[in-house]
């Protein structure tokens, strides 16, 4: 369970609109039913009318809706300044072994960094920087680099420590690095909130809303299909996906071209292939989809497979609605489904909100 800062600390940060706490916690306002980020410019409620959550996901599940002023679900690619600087430094020197003293030298509380990265990347900052370092090392080993040279270059004082790190992270010894089916992950900001994306050399294999209940189950499926290694880093497929998503949300892209990798059961694959054939700007019912794939008596199974889609938006499960035209269920929340459909119909404002 993620640990929140002390209540007094959160009250102060929310009251003073402290942007350095954005992403660390979210405030639910009982009198309005909305939740905000700490830096929200709106008038502040009384302390007794506030409750605090470690993630937007938990605030949503508690029944709160996103504030339309501070838009806690849409960070627009602007993490807190201290996080942006930290990520820049990690990217600048991925081989660096980060210690608490290094964070304090940047005026960053190690506990805050741990909480932020645990929430937004699914791992502590220490684990993030270690996985980032080993991800680059794996690429070099795959290209035939010498293990001892690679170990020293990436901050390991011995090959035994490097060997253990690679084996623990990727499930294989360095000598078998070429076999490791690593999934590289990255956060992608969007108008409907942060997305966790994953890709292999074969294509994009994951795109999920970070507050979705099924995210953990989806990650398990990714590990099962592609191997144990899921590490943060950079990948050409993720760069391409990020660019295409940007153009999609700008209303400029109607068909994604980035390669996809979505192994599943034969039936699941059949349903997901069917989803890809639903034209941009249109919808179909579960019954229509079942008929289209030649499974007219399998509407319930089609619905389940639709909900198990691991590549949201790109494999457009949001285009499937109930027979009467009502939205029906959507793992990312009905407000997102409505937003995506409005966008594709040319009615979107690019400002998410509940419908």
Position 193 in a domain: yes
Report the relative pairing of strands 195-200 and 284-285 from DSSP bridges. Answer: unpaired
Q: How many Å apart are CA 190 and CA 192, to the nearest integer?
A: 5
214 with 234, same domain?
Answer: yes
pTM of full prediction above 0.85 = no
For 302-312, letters b (16+ CB in 10 Å) and e give: bbebbebbbbb
- For residue 76, is it within any domain? no
Residue 1 domain-assigned (yes or no): no
The reply to whether 317 belongs to the active site is yes
Measured CA to CA, the distance from residue 66 to residue 334 in angstroms comes to 13
Give the three-class secondary structure for 125: helix
Q: Are residues 89 and 150 in the same domain?
A: yes
Task: Of 21, 91, 57, give the one whose Cα is nearest residue 232.
Answer: 91
254 domain residue, yes or no: no
Range of the structural domain that residue 194 is part of: 183-249
Which pLDDT value is given to residue 312?
Answer: 95
Domain identity same for 150 and 113: yes
User: Residue 156: what pLDDT?
Assistant: 62
Q: Are residues 202 and 144 in the same domain?
A: no
Q: Of the residues 40, 66, 92, which one is the last residue of a structural domain?
A: 66
Asked if residue 46 and residue 85 are part of one domain, the reply reads no
Whether 106 is covered by a domain: the verdict is: yes
How long a stretch of residues is the chain? Answer: 355
Final residue of a domain: which of 144, 171, 198?
171
Q: Name 345's Cβ contacts closer than 8 Å, sequence gap at least 6.
A: 281
Shared domain for 213 and 146, answered yes or no, is: no
Where residue 42 sits, what CATH number does that domain have?
A: 3.40.10.10
Torsion of the alpha carbons at 332, 333, 339 and 341, rounded to the nearest 10: 80
CATH number at residue 314: 1.10.10.10
Q: Is residue 261 part of a domain?
A: no
Residues 244 and 273 in one domain: no
Whole-angstrom Cα distance, residue 140 to residue 39?
A: 42
Q: Which residues contact 302 (CB under 8 A, 6 or more apart)?
A: 271, 286, 289, 290, 293, 295
Q: Are residues 203 and 224 in the same domain?
A: yes
Quick one: 14 and 35 in the same domain?
yes
Asked if 225 and 278 sit in the same domain, the reply is no
* CATH number of the structural domain spanning residue 130: 1.10.10.60
Residue 57's contacts (CB-CB under 8 Å, 6 or more residues apart) are 210, 211, 212, 213
Q: Give the per-residue pLDDT at 1.
A: 44
Catalytic residue flag (residue 67): no
351 located within any domain: no
Statement to judge: residues 213 and 233 lie in one domain: yes
Which residue, among 125, 123, 276, 120, has the nearest Cα to 203 in the 3D structure?
276
Q: Are residues 272 and 328 in the same domain?
A: yes
Tally of domains within the chain: 4
Per-residue pLDDT, 352: 40
- Residue-wise pLDDT tens for the chain (355 aa)? 456 888 999 999 999 988 767 777 899 998 888 999 898 989 999 999 999 998 877 787 777 888 888 878 654 445 677 887 888 888 788 778 888 999 999 999 998 888 877 766 667 888 777 777 766 666 666 566 665 666 666 556 556 666 566 555 555 555 554 445 578 888 888 888 778 899 998 999 999 987 676 777 788 888 888 875 677 778 899 999 999 999 999 999 999 999 999 999 999 999 999 999 999 999 999 999 999 999 888 888 999 999 999 999 999 999 999 887 777 778 777 778 888 999 999 865 444 433 2
Domain boundary among 171, 206, 224: 171
**Residue 226: inside a domain, yes or no?**
yes
Catalytic pick among 36, 40, 67, 205: 36
Report H helices in the chain. Answer: 7-15, 56-61, 81-92, 100-105, 110-121, 125-142, 147-153, 159-170, 215-226, 236-249, 266-276, 286-292, 299-307, 334-344
Q: Is the dihedral of CA 174, 177, 182, 186 positive or negative?
A: positive
Task: Identify the pLDDT of residue 351.
Answer: 42
Strand partners for 196: 187, 208
d(Cα 180, Cα 163) in Å, to the nearest integer? Answer: 14
């Amino acid at each position: 369970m993620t640990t929140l800062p002390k209540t007094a600390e959160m009250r102060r940060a929310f009251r003073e609109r402290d942007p350095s706490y954005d992403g660390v916690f979210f405030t639910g306002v009982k009198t309005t039913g909305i939740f905000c980020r700490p830096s929200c410019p709106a008038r502040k409620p009384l302390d007794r009318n506030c409750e605090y959550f470690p993630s937007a996901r938990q605030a949503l599940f508690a029944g709160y809706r996103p504030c339309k002023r501070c838009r806690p679900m849409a960070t627009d690619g602007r993490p807190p300044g201290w996080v942006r600087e930290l990520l820049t430094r990690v990217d600048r020197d991925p081989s660096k072994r980060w210690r608490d003293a290094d964070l304090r030298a940047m005026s960053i509380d190690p506990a805050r960094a741990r909480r932020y990265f645990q929430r937004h990347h699914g791992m502590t900052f220490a684990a993030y920087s270690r996985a980032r370092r080993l991800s680059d090392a794996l690429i070099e080993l795959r290209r035939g680099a010498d293990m001892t040279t690679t170990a020293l270059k990436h901050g390991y004082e011995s090959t035994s420590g490097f060997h253990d790190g690679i084996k623990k992270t990727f499930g294989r010894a360095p000598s078998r690095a070429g076999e490791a089916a690593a999934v590289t992950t990255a956060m992608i900001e969007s108008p409907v909130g942060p997305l966790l994306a994953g890709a292999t050399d074969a294509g994009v294999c994951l795109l999920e809303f970070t507050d979705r209940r099924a995210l953990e189950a989806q990650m398990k499926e990714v590990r099962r299909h592609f191997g144990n290694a899921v590490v943060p880093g950079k990948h050409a497929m993720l760069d391409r996906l990020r660019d295409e998503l940007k153009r999609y949300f700008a209303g400029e892209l109607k068909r994604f071209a980035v390669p996809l990798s979505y192994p599943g059961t034969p039936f699941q694959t059949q349903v997901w292939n069917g989803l890809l054939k639903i034209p941009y700007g249109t919808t179909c019912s579960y019954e229509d989809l079942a008929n289209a794939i030649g499974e007219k008596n399998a509407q319930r199974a089609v619905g389940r497979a639709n909900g198990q889609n691991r590549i949201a938006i790109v494999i457009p499960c949001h285009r499937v609605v109930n027979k009467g035209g009502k939205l029906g269920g959507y793992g990312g929340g009905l407000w997102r489904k409505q937003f995506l459909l409005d966008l594709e119909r040319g009615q979107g404002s690019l400002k998410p909100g509940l419908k």
